[in-house]
């Protein structure tokens, strides 16, 4: 299949999956389900790309495995963490933008579900291009990308587990997690997530013009750092937790680094 046709089909897959989640959010009154199931959209795009490939080779199987392991892990974690806990406050505040439930339903379709569908389609461009052209044996870029992906997967898994144990202890309520990986980064889980997708991009660089899909990890990085992740969470926690301002002053925002001295 031609690459343009595959990209068009996968954009339709992303929009369709996001629309299904949007429809499910209406009776649940919970826009947060997009956060729990966003990885399934990328998994669907990956699966379609694999099935529509003219031929399959080691590089395609590698990409399929990377996305599958990442997607299953993060979906299971987010479902266990968020299911039954109500709508995320970010989306609850979004409801105040309009004066009726009906208007919010259409607002959430545009501002949340379709926007995320587009970003996830962009983020998965390395996978789509790699699946369409990647029949050759993996080279040194694929090896480097796999190593970076593995670092990211292990980092975000350990960080999520440390955060899970911290939150499970009632005595930690209102305090700041600053041990383990969280001693060296305020958001080691986000760091791991970005390593996963920059690693996948490196693997895609094995195919002709694969490097051009850099727009994918760039878009995903921007979303995580500036929109839904690091900066938004920092502002929220700085308001809610007394010790968080000090934590921000001494701890790297994303990349794990030695702690700075307190001012």
Of the chain, the percentage scoring pLDDT greater than 90 comes to 64
Q: Residue 37 pLDDT > 80, yes or no?
A: yes
For 237-252, what is the mean pLDDT?
A: 90
Q: Residue 117 pLDDT > 90, yes or no?
A: yes
How sure is the predictor about 52, in pLDDT bands with cuts at 50, 70 and 90? very high
243, 236 contact by CB (below 8 A) = no
pLDDT at 21: 94
Better-predicted residue by pLDDT, 212 or 90: 212
For 114-119, what is the mean pLDDT?
A: 92
For 90-97, what is the mean pLDDT?
A: 76
Q: Residue 182 pLDDT > 90, yes or no?
A: yes
Cα separation, 257 vs 263, in Å, equals: 17
pLDDT at 252: 94
Q: Residue 263 pLDDT > 70, yes or no?
A: no
Q: How far apart are the first and last CA of the chain?
A: 59
pLDDT, averaged across the chain: 91
For 230-256, what is the mean pLDDT?
A: 90
Other beta carbons within 10 angstroms of residue 7's beta carbon come to 17
Cα separation, 257 vs 188, in Å, equals: 10
The most confident of 76-85, 99-108, 109-118, 148-157, by mean pLDDT: 148-157
Q: Where are the alpha helices (DSSP H) in the chain?
A: 3-28, 33-51, 58-82, 89-95, 101-108, 115-123, 125-133, 140-168, 188-204, 215-222, 230-240, 244-250
How sure is the predictor about 28, in pLDDT bands with cuts at 50, 70 and 90? confident
Q: What is the pTM of this model?
A: 0.91
Better-predicted residue by pLDDT, 86 or 184: 184
Q: Residue 238 pLDDT > 80, yes or no?
A: yes
């Amino acid at each position: 299949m031609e690459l343009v046709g595959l990209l068009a089909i996968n954009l339709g897959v992303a929009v369709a999956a996001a629309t299904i989640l949007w429809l499910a959010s209406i009776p649940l009154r919970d826009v947060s389900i997009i956060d729990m199931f966003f990885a399934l959209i990328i998994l669907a795009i990956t699966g379609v790309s694999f099935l529509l490939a003219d031929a399959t080779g080691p590089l395609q199987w590698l990409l399929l495995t990377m996305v599958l392991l990442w997607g299953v892990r993060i979906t299971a974690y987010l479902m266990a963490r968020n299911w039954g806990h109500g709508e995320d406050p970010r989306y609850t505040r979004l409801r105040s933008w309009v004066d009726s439930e009906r208007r919010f339903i259409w607002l959430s379709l545009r501002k949340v579900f379709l926007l995320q569908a587009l970003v996830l389609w962009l983020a998965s461009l390395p996978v789509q291009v790699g699946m369409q052209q990647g029949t050759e044996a993996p080279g040194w870029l694929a090896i480097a990308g796999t190593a970076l992906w593995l670092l990211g997967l292990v980092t975000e898994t350990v960080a999520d587990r440390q955060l899970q144990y911290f939150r499970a202890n009632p005595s930690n309520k209102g305090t700041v997690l600053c041990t383990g990986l969280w001693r060296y980064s305020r958001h080691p889980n986000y760091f791991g997530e970005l390593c996963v997708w920059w690693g996948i991009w490196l693997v895609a660089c094995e195919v002709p013009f694969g490097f051009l899909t850099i727009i994918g990890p760039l878009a995903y990085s921007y979303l995580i750092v500036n929109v839904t992740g690091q900066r938004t969470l920092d502002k929220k926690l700085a308001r809610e937790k007394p010790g968080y301002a000090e934590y921000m002053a001494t701890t790297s925002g994303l990349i794990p680094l030695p702690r700075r001295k307190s001012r």
